Amino acid sequence: MNKWIVSAVMVLAVPAASAKVLMSIDAGAGYNLSSLADDSTFIDGTFDLVGTQATGAAPFGLGMEAKNGFYGWAKISLPILPDVKLKFENLVLDGSNTVTFTESILGEEFAASGKVDSSLDLTHVDLGLTIGLPIPVVDIDLGVNFRALLGGFSATGVINGTQQTKEVLFPSATIIPMAYVSAAATIPGVGVKLGGELSTLPLGDSNITDWNIKGTWFAPLPTSMLVKVGVEAGYRSFNLTIADKVGWLDTSDFQSNVTVAGFFVGAAMHF
């Protein structure tokens, strides 16, 4: 009876092992614990995202905080072809403050008086294409990361004398290409994989920079031959800086500096 069981296990394991030679899949999903930097500003210094200043001169406070959100990612590795990584990250800032001001914003005159509820949604989807370098001990990937921002900015309150909502969405066709690099190594005898990744688009004084460092541990389960299951935890930072010029474009009306950072924790799998 035992011989038949062993034979059956070997028959099932062979195709699985062959598949792993041809393709491997890594994935993770979890929860972000984010916070918004105190010096974050928006729209040419008109708004202090964290502050609560209500009257007088700009910047006017929006009283925002970063909301905890979720993320998910998957990486598919194939021989010869570039690795493909997909990632979704929920990143929303919400705030409320009672303000009184009259300002010209993006060429339009706005007068606000009373409570203003605002939201800045930086939720995004990434598509990364990378190639690994043949270096022993450390896994290094280089490539490009294409980011699509899915949200935008909205404010609700008494604006120009009436209760209304003003909304500016990121253009749906906007794809931001960023240089990408990652590195990872496993600590011998511990089974913990330490790694980090960086996506960046430096444009002079303007830039988008997103980096993280994390550790991943896989539990020694009987299923590890087919799929490894474990946990990951780390720290990430996302910064969006828009200066008065981006290349030849005048972006002075859009000058902003937004930094969101915090710890994250989630589950990880390796097929």
Domains of the chain: 18-270 (2.40.128)
Per-residue pLDDT band at 189 (split at 50, 70, 90): confident
What is the structure's pLDDT at 6? 32
Please check the confidence at residue 18 and state whether its pLDDT lies above 70.
no
What is the structure's pLDDT at 17? 37
DSSP string for 191-251: TEEEEEEEEEEEETTEEEEEEEEEEEEE---GGGGT-EEEEEEEEEEEEEEE-SEETTEE-
Average pLDDT rounded to a whole number, residues 208-224: 91
Please check the confidence at residue 88 and state whether its pLDDT lies above 70.
yes
Per-residue pLDDT band at 248 (split at 50, 70, 90): low
Question: 140: which 2 tokens?
Answer: 């290094």
Distance CA 197, CA 156 (A): 37
Per-residue pLDDT band at 77 (split at 50, 70, 90): very high
User: Whole-number mean pLDDT of the chain?
Assistant: 85
Question: 86: which 2 tokens?
Answer: 């997909």
Kindly report which listed range (50-64, 85-99, 246-260) carries the lowest average pLDDT score: 246-260
What is the structure's pLDDT at 5? 31
